[in-house]
Structure 1
Amino acid sequence: MNPWFETVAEAQRRAKKRLPKSVYGALIAGSERGQTIEENQRAFTELGFAPHVAGPIGERDQSTTVLGQQLSMPVLISPTGVQAVHPDGEVAVARAAAARGIAMGLSSFASKPIEEVIAANPATFFQLYWCGSKDEILERMARARAAGAVGLILTLDWSFSHGRDWGSPVIPEKLDLRAMLRFAPQTLIKPRWLSTYLKSGHIPDLTAPNMAIGDGPAPGFFGAYGEWMGTPAPDWSDVQWICEQWAGPVMLKGVMRVDDALRAIDSGVAAISVSNHGGNNLDGTPAAIRALPVVAEAVGSQIDVVLDGGIRRGSDVVKAVALGARAVMIGRAYLWGLAANGQPGVENVLDILRGGIDSALLGLRKTSVRDLDRSDLIVPEGFERALGIPARPTEIPTRPASEATVG
């Protein structure tokens, strides 16, 4: 089989063919019935383009900046946990991102140490959960700073929903002999995936080395997850505290409402990601692209705005930028590429996105992604979801007070 693939959909098909059922299930899973994960992609199909028939046809410029980092195209790697789809995991992704001139987001729950990832890509943001005590959070930030992280991604958009209508993927807490015997029927019928690990000389690592404290051992993924679930949720003063302690650029990930975006600015963040955690948060949340235009308009140029959720092709990137995003973050798309062909597979996905962006710019007769705006799109009436905006004064007498904060 030709290792090159031409679409992200093909990367997904190859990942499904290559991976054990449980591993692939973890990549496609969304919370509850998956309404939001489906909506993230469906919403992009409602947006059309308004192309020009003549105009500039020279080389198109896709470069932009996010949190001071120069990007060759408006795409960043979104942090995802325990990338056991390939032995090289986050290091392979970091190398691919560096090779294509974009920044890397590294999860707290990653399977590779932050030092190794930053060595592969100096333009790495460390993703932080509000997890454990403040002293432990400070220690993790200090380690990220010492390793050379260029910024923080503070992720707060995650709820505790475990149920999925199609069944949650079965993932062992650790790969001991008992677990390997249990999963043997799945892995033995996927010889290519198994041989990749056998050649690497180690089994899939389900620990979270970046969650270790001091000289203590790295917790398992579920141990780290349990610590996060047991930590009281932060408030806005905690967000401000993170920004003050880091004393560098911080992106707040998971913003879907205007009031939250404005509070984020007041708390000191330098960027926000309009995101519903890829459909893994509260099912029934609107598609991120529907919330983007109103949020982007509300914050203006005060902070950088990126979009996370549903990106599968370069034209999706262009639509997000035209509606106010500085760039987008991708998650599942690059994981499918990693599963399909390691580092070259991730580079393949990034090349697909770059090609799609270039094609859309050519059709729109735009020479730069910085020239994109809403006039380049066909946005149907009622597309946006204006969340967290006070009701119009004329409507207040006729509406219950409980409904007056969400459009």
Structure 2
Amino acid sequence: MARDTWFETVAIAQQRAKKRLPKSAYSSLISASEKGVSVSDNVEAFAELGFAPHVIGATEKRDLATTVMGQDISLPVIISPTGVQAVHPDGEVAVARAAAARGTAMGLSSFASKPIEEVTAVNDKVFFQIYWLGSREEIAERVQRAKDAGAAGLIATTDWSFSHGRDWGSPKIPERMDLKTMIKMSPEVISKPRWLWSFGKHLRPPDLRVPNQGRRGEPGPTFFEAYGQWMGTPPPTWEDIAWLREQWPDAPFLLKGMVRVDDAKRAVDAGVSAITVSNHGGNNLDGTPAAIRCLPAIADAVGDQIEVLLDGGVRRGSDVVKAVALGARAVMIGRAYLWGLAAEGQTGVENVLDIMHGGIDSALRGLGKASIHDLTADDILIPQGFTRALGIPAR
């Protein structure tokens, strides 16, 4: 990677993304619900945790490799599914290539801007993410399409509410990029010539359709058309989750969005392979605690039965180490890689994964650990009152 495009931290990737993107596009990458309490807590909670390092005993080499839902990965970090990655012309395909180049897996959103077939063609470790949207027949068709495309498994996301009303205003995302919209947005876009040229040289504007919500080979609905259909679909029940699991019983199935122990136990009963402890990156119900605060109780309750992952607020490799030490098999990153994608495309995403790898390795060295699997809660300093054990019956 050229040194003039290299960035040393995720914070710098965010700065470059902000500098490069039109204001509305950048705003969509930092959006949260209401006051932003949960998104802030996701990040700040990691800083409350400390380490208990050894000064002697570091090994010459550290092993970062692990497995997630049957997939061998080079580090305990995978790509979280995020919708419409049209901040770069190659979108999800660039992200999939970067993940493959760094030996890790990718979650692909059903609201992605690229068809699943194009993404699985460049990365064979893709988990297809589904929202409970439309009829069972329509959902089953999307599952079958994922099977046919070679997806490695499913992710069902349920932690997404109608909570928005952002205190700083919602990003202005157009319905579609037609001529009228492009003229209206031209004052905002013309000040970002590098971003404009990245799409101009391909002779196409950002595509705001979501092809994986449509039939194979069709362009699919716009993001807001699909969003409207989701709003009109009754929320799933636990019976619906069990039914969805049955549609692909031989593949790994991850249920995304746990913060409560009782929900995690119900997920086990529904037959899932894995869960993520998550508040949807702060885009769900504001005031939900940081995922890392909820992780220990959930890992203690179900970690010996299913794989437990975490997402929300991960910005550095040391955050990953804290999560793994407190019971996570791996973490999923979202905003971090999107900033890398916006800043430098595929190489920017690779850069972010390299930052994570380097930070994990450094933390393991400081803790005197030979492997990511050697971490325990004893390696972490947890302040009194830090954790949140939600959904445990009072005695």
The TM-score range, normalised by the shorter chain, is over 0.9
Q: How does 1:122-271 map to 2 (within 5 A)?
A: 122-213=124-215, 217-247=219-249, 248-271=251-274
Tell me if 1:297 matches 2:281. Answer: no
> Secondary structure of 1:307's match?
strand
Q: Find the counterpart in structure 2 of residue 273 from structure 1.
A: 276
User: What's the CA shift for 1:56?
Assistant: 3.3
Q: Find the counterpart in structure 1 of residue 381 from structure 2.
A: 378
> Secondary structure of 2:300's match?
helix
Pairing partner for 2:50 from 41, 48, 51:
48
Conserved in 2, the CA contact under 8 Å of 1:84 and 1:111?
A: yes
The TM-score normalised by the length of structure 2 is 0.98
* Structure 2 unaligned spans of 5+: none
Q: Find the counterpart in structure 1 of residue 99 from structure 2.
A: 97
Between the aligned partners of 1:26 and 1:344, the Cα distance in structure 2 is: 21
Tell me if 1:75 matches 2:77. Answer: yes
Conserved in 1, the CA contact under 8 Å of 2:32 and 2:283?
A: yes
> Secondary structure of 2:156's match?
strand
The TM-score normalised by the length of structure 1 is 0.95
User: What's the CA shift for 1:215?
Assistant: 6.2
Conserved in 2, the CA contact under 8 Å of 1:93 and 1:346?
A: yes
Q: Find the counterpart in structure 2 of residue 38 from structure 1.
A: 40
Closer/same/farther in 2, CA of residues 202 and 362 from structure 1, 3 Å limit: same
Q: How does 1:386-397 map to 2 (within 5 A)?
A: 386-392=389-395
> Secondary structure of 1:234's match?
coil
Tell me if 1:349 matches 2:352. Answer: yes
> Secondary structure of 2:110's match?
coil
Pairing partner for 1:306 from 309, 326, 333:
309
Deviates more, 1:252-261 or 1:54-63: 54-63
Between the aligned partners of 2:379 and 2:333, the Cα distance in structure 1 is: 23
User: C-alpha deviations, 1:163-182, integer Å up to 9, x for none?
Assistant: 10000000000011111111
Conserved in 2, the CA contact under 8 Å of 1:136 and 1:213?
A: no
Deviates more, 1:79-88 or 1:196-205: 196-205
> Secondary structure of 1:246's match?
coil
> Secondary structure of 1:200's match?
coil
4+ runs of 1 displaced by more than 6 Å?
none
User: What's the CA shift for 1:216?
Assistant: 5.3
> Secondary structure of 2:257's match?
strand
Q: How does 1:356-367 map to 2 (within 5 A)?
A: 356-367=359-370
**Identity value in percent:** 68
User: What's the CA shift for 1:301?
Assistant: 1.6
User: What's the CA shift for 1:328?
Assistant: 0.1
Between the aligned partners of 2:40 and 2:385, the Cα distance in structure 1 is: 19
Between the aligned partners of 1:200 and 1:136, the Cα distance in structure 2 is: 33
Between the aligned partners of 1:314 and 1:185, the Cα distance in structure 2 is: 39
How many residue pairs get matched?
392
User: What's the CA shift for 1:62?
Assistant: 0.3
User: What's the CA shift for 1:217?
Assistant: 4.5
> Secondary structure of 1:23's match?
helix
> Secondary structure of 1:355's match?
helix
Over aligned residue pairs, what C-alpha RMSD do you find? 0.9
Between the aligned partners of 2:298 and 2:390, the Cα distance in structure 1 is: 8
User: C-alpha deviations, 1:46-73, integer Å up to 9, x for none?
Assistant: 0000000100322100001111110100
